[in-house]
Chain A
């Protein structure tokens, strides 16, 4: 048995790792029985759900089945105006007058109810957005609750957070969030804002409004004074209306760099405060001294988490030439074990692409990559007939000049390049218009610190990837945005600037 090395001869050893071969996992769908979804959802303004003034609605669908889930009110300028007016009134008359400790109690209450209703929220998130239940259950919802818990704790300690400056809130915040982490982004925006004493008008993405509306129910049930949190649903026009409203003091936006630029232009000279969290094209640098198997796991986590719909995704793999063959071969093997399919199945690794439009965009990049001369690799995993799907994909032999290396794809597509020296790796990592995040893989501690300090990005991970915590600031360099969310920096963004003595 052990002396057969010579006789193995011609066929290269191959692992049988596919999902449809031999012992296969039976479907293990999460039950949706106890999740109550209404057929129609209104706007949440001044503590109540109301229809849009002009009665318009839009549909939100399940991207895994393409079936409609609910009708949602479409907010026009008039509705946004009502929401901002409610937020202003709540700010002036109630929220800014309340003892900070009382404010904190409300925020804690939201956090606790999020935990209590976590299962329902996780299922709703997966139904509406297509992300695997494993992620909505283990990442999105617990982190959303953690953000409320974290900022609740600061509500009555602002003078300790920023000593000697008499911390004061900004007023009314207009917040626009994306579809990739619907509830989590709502938590990132709302928790620091209201804990610091602001009131908010939040606009969720049009493809994923449901968990934000469930959050509205939670906020109502938690007894928050009407108008402190208002949620207006709609598409880009509604978002523009929130951002441009005269009576908004602060704008917080998470989304594409393209829209971020429009917002910054629109806000120029308006006197509004703003933070923008935009796109990214992060490099994951794997050095020859890395723990290979754990690095491969980190690469998978970096790009295939949430179908690659992650602004800080490690969408560029830079691997040192001396270990490139081994890393890429192991990566392909690992990818073969990824299960694409029903987001509600507990074994699903990669769920549905969020929308038809996003799938079109990804598929366009798949064509562009091939036309540019990169070598595509996709796994053999079967995908369902209906719904929007994309198998995990590599572009091997990608080059710095390729669009698939320079532009954000926002899908499960990884561009793979090699480098020779540490300096070359760092230069390639920095050669991008973006600067949101990055990863470094090396078993040498000193090297990891030296390299991370030379990469121009807001968030750097060493020997891990996509780790989030409410205490850690998050934000970008260059075209990845302006300002930080999370941690004390995230709280600071909702307070008046320091006044000269």
Chain B
């Protein structure tokens, strides 16, 4: 691999999968209680990209989701709002209007999400259309076929072109780690994406299993850390898919805190791509405050 724009390190370091799993197990043994837990739950809410990415998505569905983003739980109006609402390009305008003035970003998947199997011109056009419609953030997918075939130059060029098409919008690069096969490939794709212009690297589309597993996320966090220590650039991280409980989310925050440090415990640098996570977090917050678990029916869809 000879593509590093910084030129500092042309290869990605080897990853020992057994060692990664052990580290993850140890991080998962942290016990987060009381104030630390409540703080983590609030932080989690503020990091959520509330997402709907279905073929059946309609304007009505997106407006519902935006209303939820604006008011997570009527009984607790002082809670932080989520970071962004994530939709398909065709619905960016709807979301943008619904969230006007709220400080909540609109993120749009693009580049022929989720497969990415379209000509580059079409992908770039889709990105430009999403940004024109008001997307603050663009979540692209890499061409996994080309990457797995060893065509790293194509992958790098593709990311750089999309970044250019994004203009002011932030670029999140989805690696679709569930299709990459090894942690070595995850690390290589992460390094490639960061060197090619990613503002965030993101695990998954949510359409492929496994998605954001802890070992995959740890390897990506370590890539971000090494990139920062080498260049001073802080790249963001977004695990997406499979994180549905508050407990999972807190484990991610522990992993972030002990790998990247406090600076990354910030919605500008860490996001959760999730659809059902918010309600479990809300339920835990209510439990922390009242001591009682409420029914899921007490929380809006």
Give A contacts to B, CB under 8 Å: 1-2, 4-5, 8, 13, 15-17, 21-28, 134, 138, 289-295, 297-298, 329, 337, 346-347, 443, 463-464
Of B23-31, B123-131, B278-286, which binds chain A?
B23-31
A138 proximity list for chain B (CB < 8 A):
29
Inter-chain CA distance A421–B197, complex, in Å, is 38
5 contacts between A and B (CB under 8 A): A2-B163, A8-B233, A16-B263, A23-B40, A291-B19
Inter-chain CA distance A443–B163, complex, in Å, is 35
Chain A CB within 8 A of B170 CB: yes
Inter-chain CA distance A175–B167, complex, in Å, is 74
B contact face: mostly helix, strand, loop, or mixed: helix
Chain A CB within 8 A of B120 CB: no
Asked if A25 and B18 sit within 8 Å, CB to CB, the answer is: no
Asked if A13 and B228 sit within 8 Å, CB to CB, the answer is: yes
Asked if B199 and A8 sit within 8 Å, CB to CB, the answer is: no
Inter-chain CA distance A22–B266, complex, in Å, is 11
Asked if A294 and B29 sit within 8 Å, CB to CB, the answer is: no
Inter-chain CA distance A485–B222, complex, in Å, is 39
Contact of B260 among A15, A27, A443 (CB under 8 A): A15
Closest chain A CB from B206 CB (angstroms)? 25
Asked if A16 and B262 sit within 8 Å, CB to CB, the answer is: yes
Closest chain B CB from A273 CB (angstroms)? 38
Who on chain B is nearest to A442 by CB? Answer: B14
Contact of B222 among A25, A289, A293 (CB under 8 A): A293
A17 proximity list for chain B (CB < 8 A):
257-258, 261-262
A contact face: mostly helix, strand, loop, or mixed: loop
Closest chain B CB from A296 CB (angstroms)? 9
Contact of B225 among A15, A27, A295 (CB under 8 A): A15
Who on chain A is nearest to B219 by CB? Answer: A293
Chain A CB within 8 A of B100 CB: no
Chain A CB within 8 A of B20 CB: yes
Give B contacts to A, CB under 8 Å: 6, 13-16, 18-20, 22-23, 29-37, 39-40, 43, 163, 170, 194, 197-199, 222, 225, 228-229, 231-233, 235, 253, 257-258, 260-263, 265
Asked if B30 and A25 sit within 8 Å, CB to CB, the answer is: yes
Asked if A26 and B36 sit within 8 Å, CB to CB, the answer is: yes
Across the A-B interface, give the 10 residue pairs with the lowest CB-CB distance, nearest first: A294-B19, A8-B232, A22-B262, A28-B31, A291-B16, A15-B261, A346-B31, A26-B36, A16-B261, A294-B16
- In this complex, the member of B31, B32, B43 whose beta carbon has the largest number of chain A beta carbons within 10 angstroms is B31
Inter-chain CA distance A25–B31, complex, in Å, is 8
Asked if A443 and B16 sit within 8 Å, CB to CB, the answer is: yes
A5 proximity list for chain B (CB < 8 A):
6, 231-233
Asked if B262 and A21 sit within 8 Å, CB to CB, the answer is: yes
Give the A-B pair count, Cβ closer than 8 A: 105
Contact of B32 among A13, A16, A21, A26 (CB under 8 A): A26
Asked if A289 and B232 sit within 8 Å, CB to CB, the answer is: no
Known: A23-B39, A25-B31, A138-B29. 18 other contacts (CB 8 A): A1-B170, A2-B198, A5-B6, A15-B260, A17-B257, A22-B262, A26-B33, A26-B34, A28-B31, A134-B29, A291-B15, A291-B16, A294-B19, A298-B19, A443-B14, A463-B16, A464-B18, A464-B22
A4 proximity list for chain B (CB < 8 A):
232-233
Inter-chain CA distance A21–B258, complex, in Å, is 12
Who on chain B is nearest to A339 by CB? Answer: B30
Inter-chain CA distance A428–B35, complex, in Å, is 49
Inter-chain CA distance A298–B20, complex, in Å, is 11
A13 proximity list for chain B (CB < 8 A):
228-229, 231-232
A23 proximity list for chain B (CB < 8 A):
36, 39-40, 43, 253, 257, 262, 265
B14 proximity list for chain A (CB < 8 A):
289-291, 443
B6 proximity list for chain A (CB < 8 A):
5
B22 proximity list for chain A (CB < 8 A):
297, 464
B265 proximity list for chain A (CB < 8 A):
22-23
Inter-chain CA distance A298–B228, complex, in Å, is 23
Inter-chain CA distance A314–B14, complex, in Å, is 22
Asked if B37 and A26 sit within 8 Å, CB to CB, the answer is: yes
Who on chain B is nearest to A17 by CB? Answer: B261
Asked if A2 and B263 sit within 8 Å, CB to CB, the answer is: no
A15 proximity list for chain B (CB < 8 A):
225, 228-229, 260-261, 263
Inter-chain CA distance A426–B235, complex, in Å, is 40
Who on chain B is nearest to A15 by CB? Answer: B261
Closest chain A CB from B233 CB (angstroms)? 6
Asked if A291 and B13 sit within 8 Å, CB to CB, the answer is: yes
- In this complex, the member of A8, A15, A134, A297 whose beta carbon has the largest number of chain B beta carbons within 10 angstroms is A15
A27 proximity list for chain B (CB < 8 A):
33
Contact of A297 among B23, B197, B225 (CB under 8 A): B23
Who on chain A is nearest to B199 by CB? Answer: A1
Asked if B36 and A24 sit within 8 Å, CB to CB, the answer is: yes
Closest chain B CB from A346 CB (angstroms)? 4
Closest chain B CB from A6 CB (angstroms)? 10
B228 proximity list for chain A (CB < 8 A):
13, 15
A295 proximity list for chain B (CB < 8 A):
19
A25 proximity list for chain B (CB < 8 A):
30-32, 36
B258 proximity list for chain A (CB < 8 A):
17, 337
- In this complex, the member of B40, B199, B233, B265 whose beta carbon has the largest number of chain A beta carbons within 10 angstroms is B233
Contact of B20 among A24, A26, A294, A337 (CB under 8 A): A294
Who on chain B is nearest to A323 by CB? Answer: B13
Who on chain A is nearest to B198 by CB? Answer: A2
- In this complex, the member of A2, A295, A443, A464 whose beta carbon has the largest number of chain B beta carbons within 10 angstroms is A2
A134 proximity list for chain B (CB < 8 A):
29
B198 proximity list for chain A (CB < 8 A):
2
